[in-house]
Structure 1
Amino acid sequence: MLKFLVVKFLEMVARLFCRVDKNLVTLYFLNYSGCNLNPVLEAYEKGEIKDCKFKVIELPEKPFESLWKRLLFKWHMIEWTAKSKVIVTTHGGRRLRRKTVHIELWHSFPTKKAGLMDKRVQRYDSKPNIFCSYSDFGTVLRNACVGLSISLYVVTGAPRNDYLLTVNGKKNLEKLFGMSLEGKRVIIFAPTFRFGYEDFVEGNKSYDNFFGFKEFDIQKFLSFLEESNIVFFLKLHPNEEWLFVDHFKRFGSDRIKIIESAILKRERTDFYKLLNGADLLVTDYSSIYFDWLLLDRPVVFTPVDLKEYKETRGGWLLDYDFWAAGPKCVDQDSLQKEVKKSLEDPNYYRPERQLVVKLVHQYRDANSTNRVLELIQKALRGERLV
């Protein structure tokens, strides 16, 4: 209750003493792990959007160590929100004035129950002016979780997906890790998180090995990578990377690399600038898979704790077995077998992938960033957005 009252007092102070800058756009930026704000910011830095100024508020990836630091950062956010003509977010937020326009890009395609559909919280407090969506189908799924007026949605596609269709991910991986990938096959494993959302634990995956398999032989896996000429990249979810990255570093080798958030931040390189450098994606329940579909490349799933994840997370908006268009593996032998088959046969599960991509992506071009920039410019000019 005290925290609530303090925040309300800070908001009142900001409304009284912070004047709105009609040219100010504030971006609430979280990380370089596939952030939809990165392409927008790059476009601004290249001069593709004019007559405005951008302010970037970098959100913390880990909890603050003290209450005082948390309050200082909260005031920092409130101050710039009160000053802004437009705010753009990817993880919710709220405007403080009616004249401020809030554009929500979000950070994933809606697959899991969240917000109003999540029995653990059953709420969604953010009320943006515009909610950007992947498709009409995606809008229906998203609105089940957030309960907004359907008129607030605009289908733009996700700006980060422009990277998938334009950059050379393999060259970016080579540059980031100082290695040659010429003639090599590349696999990226990008699992979702089990820890890091509120105080919940989702599923019961073991972290003894990358995949959570009950039995795993690292030497056998390294031999498989060597024989198949594969370089394996692990990208942990930022919610729990800080908990487990040091544990997995002990497996590092010429064939196993870890894509760390700290490295991406240092190099100002978004993970999606690396993603299309892979020949195959491995994931469990991460919605990164739906973006990957734009590349029409194989994907292998590792649903090791499917039953427990459903029970603790609350389930899916979509049927997992149908929408996960690729082989499912819960042990090392089947994973290695399916990876090999998927790399050798480009048509393996292709019809299933092509069905899903048509439903998920209304646009399959590299112009999602431009559509979002157009919305921002309209908001700055005070024009009707939809």
Structure 2
Amino acid sequence: MKNFLFRLYLAAMKLIARFTPVQDNKVVILNGAGRSGSNGYLFGKYLYKNHPEYEVTLVEPWPSSHLSLKTWRQIGAAKFVITTHQPFKVHARQINIQFWHGIPLKRMGFMANNTSLKTDQRNANLWQKNADVVCSSSDLYESLMSACCAIETNKYRKTGFPRLDALKNPAISKKKLLTDLFKAEDDGAQIGIYMPTFRYEMDDRQIMTQVEQGNFFALPDFDAVKLNNSLKKNHQYLIVKLHPYEMNLFKHLRSSFSNIAFLNNDYLYQLDIDLYELLGNTDFLITDYSSIYFDYLNIDKPIIFITNYLRQYEKKRGLLMGPYEEIVPGVCVKTQQELIKALVMPDQFSQKRHYWLNLTNEVQTDSNCENVFKLLKIEGKL
């Protein structure tokens, strides 16, 4: 019922916005990715800084039923509507440029185990109707997206993704990260970040209970004291960046450990930065089934994969490539004991990382943002 009412709301607002005159230099960014690798937010920052001839409006969060009529008129006036999630535009005079928010690793749309055909068909129709251009990084990316969302091949443009510019050019120094998050000074520090996928969708109350109790890894032998002692011994510091839903479970928690810190969105908004603007200054990544690891390949640093719920996740939603533990470019662990060992292992996966980087990113340029800007100029003249 809520979905039906929201679609009704969107239809009404689009009707109002449709009568606003379109301005050729106006760009509106509908940011549904928050500050966790948002192509939209980061491209907007690029335009603000480098191309003031364009009038940019950032709308976040998106979608939302709480936008003002003024905002809807700004959406209707934009020549370019840039989206990070489902493609959207008010009328045919606009050009929708679809960034999306990650290289697909988890099954979605037609490929997912936990969606309905009716919903998948409706979403595919929206892609076909509203997406004029889909920014891409590789043939593999296009194959995965089309398998899930039935996107026509002529919509793709290999521009690369704006978030990778930020990843390779951090705005926040490693020293500031240590000071802000750990209150530490350590010339030999190695900073890691843990970013799991959205685990709530596994419908396993046991997992969420573990997270609520402080076991953010949801590992069977989790012991925060032992983990912190190991990190401290090896001059390692761990940033824990959970999905926003899981972070809500931690609102009452503050890490009492010297080498473990929770990163929430408040820190990012206070500094007016995206996660990727500090991610490049981390030294290793820990994840499970999050597609962030494809992006992390661009800075060629070690990745550790937690796979204790792999079979359950494959059954519930599914992954687009496999066997997972054989193809990922890093050590796979199922216990904290294995994780602690992996954290001090010599890196032996550089060659495998380069292999997957070449498959997922064929756009090797200095500025993906500049590539997208050139695309605006070309599409605006058509």
* Cα distance change, pair 227–154 in 1 and its aligned pair in 2 (3 A): same
**Structure 1, unaligned runs of 5 or more:** 62-69
CA distance in 2, matches of 1:155, 1:176: 37
**Structure 2, unaligned runs of 5 or more:** none
CA distance in 2, matches of 1:202, 1:324: 25
Pick aligned residue for 1:139 from 113, 138, 142:
142
Q: How many angstroms does 1:293 deviate by?
A: 0.8
Q: Is the 8 A contact 2:285 2:302 kept in 1?
A: yes
CA distance in 1, matches of 2:236, 2:55: 45
Give matches, 1:213-228, under 5 Å.
213-228=219-234
Q: Is 1:303 equivalent to 2:307 in the alignment?
A: yes
1:38-95 CA distances to partner (integer Å, 9 max, x unpaired)? 332222222x22432011111169xxxxxxxx54428666433322111111112311
Pick aligned residue for 1:55 from 44, 54, 57:
57
Give matches, 1:362-377, under 5 Å.
362-377=362-377
Could you tell me which amino acid in structure 2 is paired with residue 218 of structure 1?
A
Could you tell me which amino acid in structure 1 is paired with residue 45 of structure 2?
E
* Cα distance change, pair 316–15 in 1 and its aligned pair in 2 (3 A): same
Pick aligned residue for 1:234 from 240, 252, 256:
240
Q: Is the 8 A contact 2:29 2:41 kept in 1?
A: no
* Cα distance change, pair 33–306 in 1 and its aligned pair in 2 (3 A): same
Aligned residue for 1:256?
Answer: 260
Q: Is 1:14 equivalent to 2:17 in the alignment?
A: yes
Could you tell me which amino acid in structure 1 is paired with residue 80 of structure 2?
V
1:126-162 CA distances to partner (integer Å, 9 max, x unpaired)? 3310001121111111111111210100111111111
Give matches, 1:5-44, under 5 Å.
5-16=8-19, 18-30=20-32, 31-44=34-47
1:240-279 CA distances to partner (integer Å, 9 max, x unpaired)? 24432326x3434221111111110111121112112221
Aligned residue for 2:275?
Answer: 271
Could you tell me which amino acid in structure 2 is paired with residue 44 of structure 1?
L
Could you tell me which amino acid in structure 2 is paired with residue 110 of structure 1?
P
Q: How many angstroms does 1:210 deviate by?
A: 1.8
Could you tell me which amino acid in structure 1 is paired with residue 162 of structure 2?
P
Pick aligned residue for 1:121 from 105, 116, 121:
116
* Cα distance change, pair 5–257 in 1 and its aligned pair in 2 (3 A): closer
CA distance in 1, matches of 2:9, 2:305: 45
Secondary structure, counterpart of 1:245 in structure 2: coil
Could you tell me which amino acid in structure 1 is paired with residue 156 of structure 2?
Y
Q: How many angstroms does 1:227 deviate by?
A: 1.2
TM norm structure 2:
0.87
Secondary structure, counterpart of 2:366 in structure 1: coil
Secondary structure, counterpart of 1:340 in structure 2: coil
Aligned residue for 1:85?
Answer: 79
Could you tell me which amino acid in structure 1 is paired with residue 53 of structure 2?
D
State the identity as a percent. 26
Q: Is 1:184 equivalent to 2:189 in the alignment?
A: yes
Aligned residue for 1:246?
Answer: 251
Q: How many angstroms does 1:169 deviate by?
A: 4.5
Q: How many angstroms does 1:359 deviate by?
A: 0.6
Aligned residue for 1:96?
Answer: 90
Q: Is the 8 A contact 2:192 2:239 kept in 1?
A: yes
